[in-house]
Amino acid sequence: MNRSVRRTLVVVLSSLALLAPAATARAATPDDKLAVLSSWTQTTATSTNAWNAARLNREPWADYHFDWSTDYCSSSPDNPLGFDFTLSCWHHDFGYRNYKSVGQFPANKDRVDSMFYADLKRKCGTYSAALQPACYSLAWTYYEAVHVFGSLDKVQRADLDHAALLKAHTR
């Protein structure tokens, strides 16, 4: 093949490569989804931070078809006594909903509940030392409600009142 034919062929092939649509990313497999779900539902701050970063930038995860919906803390207060549990409840909802959607909920429920409790305790750690006992009391109550009953619907007014008393004794 002479030089000018080769050059023409290279130019044509290069032009076609530029005009062709970019190759799409490989679709996420069920195993890929489970691996990501597992990495985002551990009890560590690193796991929670990775989930939260993905929550804030969902586009790279679109092929995984995660369910990001939430009702936060269900019928229980999202901010009991002023302690903001909304993000912890959202993370918990994410774990429950997505493990249910892939048929792996029973095998992962305990870990997702433990992740929830770890998230709540980390949140309580952001409050002053005087407020932490009341926050930790509520965190335990919220954890027990989901762990034992599978829902925060079982949080009782008496549990909130007990934490309120703890909080009142800090003043």
Cα separation, 123 vs 50, in Å, equals 16
The amino acid at residue 132 is: Q
Share the mean pLDDT of the chain: 87
Question: What is the maximum alpha-carbon separation in the chain?
Answer: 92
Domain boundaries, the chain: 27-168
Q: Which of 58-67, 78-87, 133-142, 144-153 is the least confident region? A: 144-153
DSSP 64-99: G-------TTTTS-SSGGG---HHHHHHHHHHHHHH
H helices, E strands: number in the chain: 7, 0
The CATH homologous superfamily for domain 27-168 is: Phospholipase A2 domain (1.20.90.10)
Cα separation, 155 vs 33, in Å, equals 32
Q: Is 162 a catalytic residue?
A: no
The catalytic residue among 65, 91, 92, 162 is 92
Cα separation, 137 vs 32, in Å, equals 37
Per-residue pLDDT tens over the stretch 85-107? 999 999 999 999 999 999 999 99
The amino acid at residue 53 is: A
